[in-house]
Amino acid sequence: QQQVKQSPQSLIVQKGGISIINCAYENTAFDYFPWYQQFPGKGPALLIAIRPDVSEKKEGRFTISFNKSAKQFSLHIMDSQPGDSATYFCAAETSGTYKYIFGTGTRLKVLA
């Protein structure tokens, strides 16, 4: 019940395309869902986050879509660029605990 399932494991997208990464969870106590971006040799960096009281949050080219009833959320990267090539992790937290459950990661490669 503490797991966050992430898919796909890897993704190849053409420059300018849309990258979509999906996550699913079981624990209904989770109420904060951040996405992190990690480049090789670096720690994860917060990209965007959402709470379940909204169904969508957009920041620049990055959008989170959230489906509370299905217990699923996804990251959409519009107009994907080669510089977006990185590993992306979804995570879930019960508010205020700061104990994140991370997905297994998606390695994104954007072709120039």
Partner 1 sequence: ETGVTQSPTHLIKTRGQQVTLRCSSQSGHNTVSWYQQALGQGPQFIFQYYREEENGRGNFPPRFSGLQFPNYSSELNVNALELDDSALYLCASSPGTGDYGYTFGSGTRLTVV
Please tell me the distance from the alpha carbon of residue 43 to that of residue 60, in angstroms, as a whole number.
22
Q: Considering only 30-38, 54-62, 63-71, 73-81, which stretch makes contact with partner 1 by CB under 8 A?
A: 30-38
Q: Any contact of residue 54 with partner 1 (CB under 8 A)?
A: no
Least separation in angstroms between residue 51's CB and partner 1 is 7
Does 25 help bind partner 1 (rule: CB under 8 A)?
no
Amino acid at residue number 39: F
Q: How many residues bind partner 1 (CB under 8 A)?
A: 23
Work out the burial of residue 40: count CB atoms within 10 Å of its CB; fewer than 13 is exposed, 13-18 middle, 19 or more buried: exposed
Hey, which residues between 60 and 99 contact partner 1 (CB under 8 A)?
89, 91, 97-99
Phi, psi of 92, deg, nearest 5: -140, 150
Instruction: Tell which one of 29, 45, 54, 78 touches partner 1 (CB under 8 A).
Output: 45
Of the candidates 18, 32, 31, 27, the one whose C-alpha atom is nearest the C-alpha of residue 75 is 18
